[in-house]
Amino acid sequence: MPVKKLIVSAMLAASIMAGAVPAAMAAELPDFSQIVSNEGKAVVNISTKSTVREVSNDLPEGMSGDPFFEFFRRFAPPRAQERQESSLGSGFIISADGYVLTNAHVVARADEITVKLTDKREYKAKVIGADARTDVALLKIEADKLPVVRRGDANALKVGEGVLAIGSPFGFENTATSGIVSGKNRMLPDETFVPFIQTDAAINPGNSGGPLFNTRGEVVGINSQIFSRSGGFMGISFAIPIDVAMDVVAQLKAKGHVSRGKIGVVIQELSQDLAASFGLAKPAGALINAVEPNGPAAKAGVKPGDIIQQVDGKPVESGSDLQRLIGSIPPGKPVTLGLWRNRAATSAKVVPVEQQDQDPRLAQREYRGSQQERPNEQSFSQIGLRLQVLNPAQLQRAGIKYGLLVRGANNVAMRAGIQPGDVIVGIGSEPLANVEQLKSALSAAKKGSSIALQVLRQGITQFIPLPVGDGK
């Protein structure tokens, strides 16, 4: 035996004899090498390319203290610039015919996605769907007979159990790091739909989207986030439980997006004093402080002051539990709420409706896709705009009946005041009813004339005149 191994073995034996390390623990130190060898083949490297459009007015640096700065800032013609960005992440193959799981933020705003296997084969990937709220994305590559991971049970994990992460931190492909489960069911700020697995396995930029394995070589999570003050690993990482991810995958495969239920209540966390005032021994449950008129909860007789303690028999410890449980129920499926009302237990049957609202903070995770993949997008070269018809959910969020989203604008249109993200809602004094109305107005307009568009921006409507060209 080499001298170094002999010394280590002697030290370990001495520790066991001294009672510092239990003999059972010493005999069961995990060896992840077989897992890396067998399961690592299904772990992939994901690289993305995206085009970033920036607008500047080319003002010299250091002018902000100059009295004429505001004049130049307002009237200097804007100049649009495009630059290419690339990023790296990880993923893993969940079916032999080419379905790949990763994080939504890995493919956010990507125009092109490449999946690289451990045997150096590379494939262009298509996004089947991405769910910003759980940070899960499903990709598809055109290949077959691929190695796949084995799915484990995240609920069976125990705090202290060994885990292994495989990914591409900082671009170093197929890097393995190990640790233990250091916490379960962690609810993070703004992440109310995921009960995260907390680990101390080293996760760094590039690991996102890669698998978290248990000691049996089964995937139990998707590595998603780290807690860091430095931008690098500091001992706390978070993974999305695989059961949560696979529920999302089923919906993404079926319809390309995730439907979530809502019951129309505003909730408040229970303090110990509040719980006592309602006759509860401990502050467990979600206190309702408002009910949406004519919403599902109101129709079921749920009232302000009720405390939701269960959803179909599953315990509700906090408001985040309630959001996660209700959000996982398909809209239209009845659910039984266990309530605490007037110091006694009761129940109510509620039928959730589909949740339409979208948290704007999650927009950075939405997959943008290439221009060719955007549905209902058309080019109007006469006025230098690329427009997309808003879908019903977007129209409802914007509070309008019809609108065309500005996806792109040339320099002439931008100098006139149009910005990507604006929504065209009218022509002159007439509200816009369909895209043919805009086409007819442009056909009737003379070259060199202007057309006045009603534009919705950040909830405010304004008129912007655009010059009409010949479309060349």
List active site positions. 105, 135, 208
CA dihedral sign of residues 458, 413, 472, 382: positive
Separation CA 341–CA 223 (nearest Å)? 40
Q: What is the 3-state secondary structure (H, E, C) of 20-87?
A: CCCHHHHHCCCCCHHHHHHHHHHEEEEEEEEEEEEEECCCCCCHHHCCCHHHHHHHCCCEEEEEEEEE
Give Dmax over CA atoms of the chain in angstroms: 95
Separation CA 398–CA 129 (nearest Å)? 23
Burial (0-12, 13-18, 19+ Cβ within 10 Å), 111:
middle
Measuring CA to CA, how many Å separate 467 from each of 13, 57, 124, 407, 409? 84, 21, 40, 18, 13
Classify 189 as helix, strand or coil: coil
Provide the residue count of the chain: 472
> Could you tell me the two tokens for 306?
């009720």
